[in-house]
Amino acid sequence: MCRYIQSKQVVQSKIDDEVVMMDIESGFYFGLNSVASIIWELLKDGKTVDELAEYLITEYDVNRKQCLEETDILIKKMLDLKVIRCLEDK
């Protein structure tokens, strides 16, 4: 199981409850909505998809299945963009 963590090559700025990020290697930049920004913040210390979903379930009115699916989609997008990386549990 992977613990996902922010990549060091990303610079970020918080604007209200959203985050704007730029990958300094590719120059690609994008914004995160408020929920994705919370996930991004949680990824500072490395979290599994289950840990992220558990946190979100306590904060929002969302069922576990939907939360896991949507969190997994976001994590896969972030991996594709190389703004996070997987730390394999040992």
Domain residue limits, the chain: 2-85
CB atoms inside a 10 Å sphere around CB 69 = 12
pLDDT in tens, 22-64: 888 888 888 899 999 999 999 999 999 999 999 999 999 999 9
pLDDT at 28: 81
The distance from CA 51 to its chain's CA centroid, rounded to whole angstroms, is 12
We find that the CATH architecture of domain 2-85 is Alpha-Beta Complex (3.90)
pLDDT at 5: 95
Q: How far apart are CA 48 and CA 17, in angstroms?
A: 23
Taking residues 63-75, what's their average pLDDT? 96
CB atoms inside a 10 Å sphere around CB 46 = 17
pTM of the full structure: 0.87
pLDDT at 82: 87
